């Protein structure tokens, strides 16, 4: 079995080379995350077997996943999410979930994969954390198209997390809802207390700000504490770490509604420069390449189902956006392609199903591989549909 040291070396090498290789493709058509996944599968135990996940690497992987969703939660405009666009995104996701369960029942997916609920939930996810760097690279994050993608992405991440906690939990639906409500209450308290303790102009506020750009790095350390604290709270309640990380991102934005460019640069350096690549590489390492190659029909079927179940309703929903000028068919297709891009939640849902004995590792590998293909193909197609005028900033 490969040692921790050699595994870390190969992971670090891939993380360093991936952005360089991605830059060789015109218009960055191949997202860096795809290269990380493919390279991870190549070095993993199911291929070259020169790297393996250990407890130490697993901890870094969880931190990478946490940072991915913290930044995703931080980017969400709460006022927009609670407005018409956010509500439309929620209704769209609920329609996707109902459609997913209908398709699973109609096709008899249980004859192939035992965890019907896990398959249905996985089909409705949107990889918002994965899309963030892609939207940034294409300069779409602050456009109306980008804002719409963020709305669908936020609901497409949180919805499956809640559905997974309720439908896949051994506690039962009612008790799971009680646990979720308790977690939400504690998260609200965590959001409120800092504003009381570190109010603008107070000595505690001055103390935190004075150490922000010194070796103390107070704002970075407090952000990490927030992430880890809510992650631990999620574990205590047997919830996915994604929920805690997303809550941490929302809380961080509430504490700094106007943003903090210096802190954002530091966090992105830690996240995209170190932790997040580890998450994607190790996710690739978990893919059983031979199992995927042996079931191409199942792989293709799941890929098409994701597009139909998630992409088509999002496309239709954009036609009801009351904006001027309205979305063109090209722009609606872009939003739909981004909305149907899923991976982290597919990894999380299949991982939970495998741990519970509801799904085989082979089938989980196929689903994760399908999610990886959506990350490769769908944003690429959306980028090809992109036009320069779509880079206009939203007001």
Give 182-210 as a DSSP string: HHHHHHHHHHHHHHHHT-TTSHHHHHHHH
Tell me the C-alpha distance between 308 and 123, whole Å: 9
Q: In angstroms, rounded to a whole number, what is the distance separating the alpha carbons of residues 77 and 138?
A: 19
Q: Six-digit token pair at 144?
A: 């109306």
CB–CB of 318/336 below 8 Å?
yes
Q: pLDDT tens digits, the chain, 395 residues: what are they?
A: 899 999 999 999 999 999 999 889 877 778 788 899 899 999 999 999 999 999 999 999 999 989 988 988 887 777 767 788 889 999 999 999 999 999 888 876 554 444 678 888 889 999 887 788 778 777 888 888 988 998 999 899 888 888 887 877 667 677 888 888 898 888 888 877 766 666 666 667 678 778 888 888 999 999 999 999 999 998 888 887 888 898 899 889 888 877 788 999 999 999 999 999 999 899 889 888 888 889 899 899 889 999 999 999 999 999 888 777 889 999 999 999 999 998 878 887 887 777 777 777 888 888 888 988 898 889 889 988 876 544 445 54
Q: In Å, what is the CA distance from 129 to each residue of 18, 265, 387? A: 18, 17, 23
Q: Are 163 and 374 in contact (CB under 8 A)?
A: no
Q: How far is CA 365 from the centre of its chain?
A: 18
Q: Report pLDDT for 115.
A: 65
Torsion of CA 25, 387, 329, 79, to 10 degrees: 100
235 to each of 11, 158, 228, 238, how far by Cα in Å? 26, 17, 10, 5
The pTM of this model reads 0.83
């Amino acid at each position: 079995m490969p040692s921790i040291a050699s595994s870390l070396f190969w992971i670090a090498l891939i993380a360093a080379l991936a952005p360089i290789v991605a830059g060789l493709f015109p218009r960055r058509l191949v997202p860096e995350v795809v290269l990380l996944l493919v390279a991870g599968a190549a070095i993993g135990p199911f291929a070259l077997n020169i790297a393996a996940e250990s407890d130490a690497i697993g901890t870094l992987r969880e931190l990478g996943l946490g940072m991915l969703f913290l930044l995703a939660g931080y980017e969400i405009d709460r006022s927009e999410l609670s407005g018409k666009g956010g509500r439309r995104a929620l209704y769209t996701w609920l329609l996707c979930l109902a459609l997913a369960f209908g398709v699973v029942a109609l096709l008899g997916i249980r004859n192939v994969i035992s965890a019907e609920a896990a398959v249905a939930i996985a089909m409705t996810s949107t990889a918002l954390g994965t899309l963030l760097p892609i939207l940034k690279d294409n300069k779409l994050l602050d456009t109306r198209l980008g804002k719409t993608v963020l709305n669908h992405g936020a609901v497409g991440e949180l919805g499956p997390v809640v559905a997974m906690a309720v439908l896949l939990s051994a506690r039962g639906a009612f008790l799971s809802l009680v646990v979720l409500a308790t977690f939400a209450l504690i998260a609200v308290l965590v959001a409120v207390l800092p504003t009381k303790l570190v109010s603008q102009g107070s000595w505690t506020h001055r103390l935190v700000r004075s150490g922000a750009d010194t070796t103390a790095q107070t704002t970075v350390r407090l952000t990490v504490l927030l992430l880890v604290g809510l992650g631990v709270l999620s574990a205590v309640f047997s919830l996915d770490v994604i929920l805690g990380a997303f809550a941490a991102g929302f809380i961080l934005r509430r504490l700094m509604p106007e943003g903090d460019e210096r802190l954002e640069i530091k966090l992105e350096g830690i996240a995209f420069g170190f932790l997040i690549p580890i998450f994607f590489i190790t996710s690739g390492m978990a893919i059983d390449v031979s199992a995927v190659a042996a079931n191409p029909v199942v792989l293709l079927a799941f890929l098409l189902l994701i597009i139909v179940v998630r992409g088509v309703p999002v496309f239709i929903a954009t036609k009801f956006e009351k904006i001027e000028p309205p979305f063109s068919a090209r722009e609606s297709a872009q939003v739909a392609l981004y909305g149907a891009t899923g991976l982290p939640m597919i990894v999380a849902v299949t991982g939970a199903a495998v741990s519970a004995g509801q799904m085989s590792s082979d089938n989980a590998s196929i689903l994760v591989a399908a999610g990886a293909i959506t990350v490769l193909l769908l944003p690429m197609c959306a980028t090809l549909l992109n036009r320069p005028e779509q880079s206009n900033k939203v007001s």
